[in-house]
Structure 1
Amino acid sequence: IVTDDLALPFGTLRMRAKGSGGGHNGLGNIETVLGTSKYARLRFGIGDEFRRGQQVDYVLGRWTGEEESTLSARLDRFDEAVRSFATIGLERAMNHFNNT
């Protein structure tokens, strides 16, 4: 599962083999459907620069100029992480990419 994550700084990658939904509506729904939280997930940090109660507007809003200037490189790194997960496996990919 690939998802955004408000709890991670913008552009940060994090892979996990399992875990809770952490309040993420999409992950909560997936766990309900699967009946388990034991599934791999790759999270892309989108930061938390929003006022209280404004998460939806923040998540669906536009990138800042600073974020846009680094987004392409971060997405390239994210693409590399997804491909590594598929080819070398979760554990090795986690060791290489987590928090980069």
Structure 2
Amino acid sequence: MFIIAGLGNPTLQYEGTRHNVGFDVIDTVARKYNISVDYRKNRAYIGKGIIAGQKVLLAKPQTYMNLSGESIRGLVDYYKVDEESQLLVIYDDVSLGAGQLRIRKKGSAGGHNGIKSIISCLGTDIFPRIKVGVGEKPKRYDLADYVLGHFSREEREMMEEGYGHAAEAVEMIVAGEIDAAMNEYNRKVKPKEG
């Protein structure tokens, strides 16, 4: 069993915000592999399916971002998975351009409260993750206001492309090809010339 957890905030007011791209990627993966993520367990919406011949559990924690680790700890314990090799966390990153990916095998929270919570609850920062760029915060913007804001139409197109790439990266990682996924997606994307 491989747990693939996308981070976000529950309730309609947060739908489509920068902080909810983890949920958006899970929705993209769920559509691609025909997995229903509608069952509640361990304070998350979950759905089981098969990706790259492996059993997977897609999860959208419903604890709000800052307590994501509580839900993920419960899922890791219940399904007895090894977080270092059978957990993949997907979340937003304000240091990357809209739709760009950065895949890592481990790392610090980098100021992300959802990841801070997961590291605290698991007692380790060694777990694979896919960071999805949401664009850098403009100067004089409050970070919380920025990540809880919505994308422009142009950004939304870049994000949709990024979600598709993230879904492809998920398949590679589940298949044991995280290094190949890093080589493929950890590149700077050149802006399109208009």
> Is the aligned partner of 1:10 residue 2:80?
no
Partner of 1:78: 166
Q: 1:35 aligns with which of 123, 127, 146?
A: 123
Larger CA deviation: 12-21 vs 65-74: 65-74
SS in 2 for 1:2: strand
CA distance in 2 between partners of 1:14 and 1:85 (Å): 13
Report the aligned-residue RMSD: 1.6
1:56 pairs with 2:144? yes
Q: Which amino acid letter does the alignment assign opposite residue 59 of structure 1?
A: V
Q: Matched residues in 2 for 1:38 and 1:73: separation? A: 28
CA deviation vs aligned residue, 1:14-73 (integer Å, no higher than 9, x gap): 100111111110111111111111111110001113343511111111101210233322
Q: How many residues align?
A: 100
Pick the structure with more helix per residue: 1
Q: What is aligned with 2:177?
A: 89
TM value normalised by structure 1: 0.88
Distance across 1 between alignment mates of 2:181 and 2:157: 26
Q: Is the 8 A contact 2:93 2:131 kept in 1?
A: yes
Runs of at least 5 residues in structure 1 that lack an aligned partner in the other structure: none
Q: Is the 8 A contact 2:100 2:133 kept in 1?
A: yes
Higher strand share: 2
Percent pairwise identity: 37
18, 21, 28: which one pairs with 2:109? 21
* Alpha-carbon distance in 2 for matches of 1:53, 1:63: 15
Normalising by structure 2, what TM-score?
A: 0.48
Cα distance in 1 for partners of 2:164, 2:104 equals 20
Moved more, 65-74 or 15-24: 65-74
- AA at the equivalent of 1:92: A
Which structure has the greater CA radius of gyration? 2
Report 1 or 2 for greater relative contact order, CA contacts < 8 Å, sequence distance ≥ 6.
1
SS in 1 for 2:103: strand
